[in-house]
Amino acid sequence: MTTPANLKYAASHEWAKAEADGTVTIGITDHAQEALGDIVFLELPAVGRVVKAGEECAVVESVKAASDIYSPVSGEVVDINQAAVDAPESVNADAYATWLFRIKPANAAQLVTELGGLLDAAAYDATL
C-alpha cells in the first residue's frame, strides 16, 4: 500500500491529518497494522481528555501484543471512531481510512510547529 501524500507521520507509526475545520485526525500507519497482525481490540482516549504531543493515549491490541499509540499533536480529544472500536479488524483492512481519534488543538501556532516536526510520506517511508 502506498503511503498517502496528504498525511503527516510520526516515527512511532501514527498518521495525522489536518482537517479543514481545524481539528486533526489520528490513525496508525499501514506498516503499523502489518507489524501488529490481526487487531482485536482498541482502547481509545475519553472524549474531553487533553493530551500533549507524544503522550501515550490509546492502545491497539492484536492477537499477538498490545501497542501504545501516541498523540502526534497537543489538544483536546473531541471525537473517537466508535465504528473502529466495534470492528477493530477495519484497521487491518485499511489503516488510512480507519481513523482512531480526533484532536482539537488549543493553540494554532503550536499546531504548526508540531505538524512541522512530523514526517512527510517519503520521509516516513525512508524510516521503514
Q: Does 50 bind other proteins (CB under 8 A)?
A: no
Q: Least distance in Å: CB of 64 to other proteins?
A: 6
Q: Does 55 bind other proteins (CB under 8 A)?
A: no
Contacting residue, 64, 107, 122, 127, with other proteins by CB under 8 A: 64
Q: Does 93 bind other proteins (CB under 8 A)?
A: no
Q: Which is nearer to other proteins, 40 or 121 (CB)?
A: 40
The neighbour count for residue 110, using CB atoms within 10 Å, is 14
Q: Cα–Cα distance between 82 and 101 in angstroms, integer?
A: 9
SS3 5: coil
Q: Cα–Cα distance between 54 and 37 in angstroms, integer?
A: 24
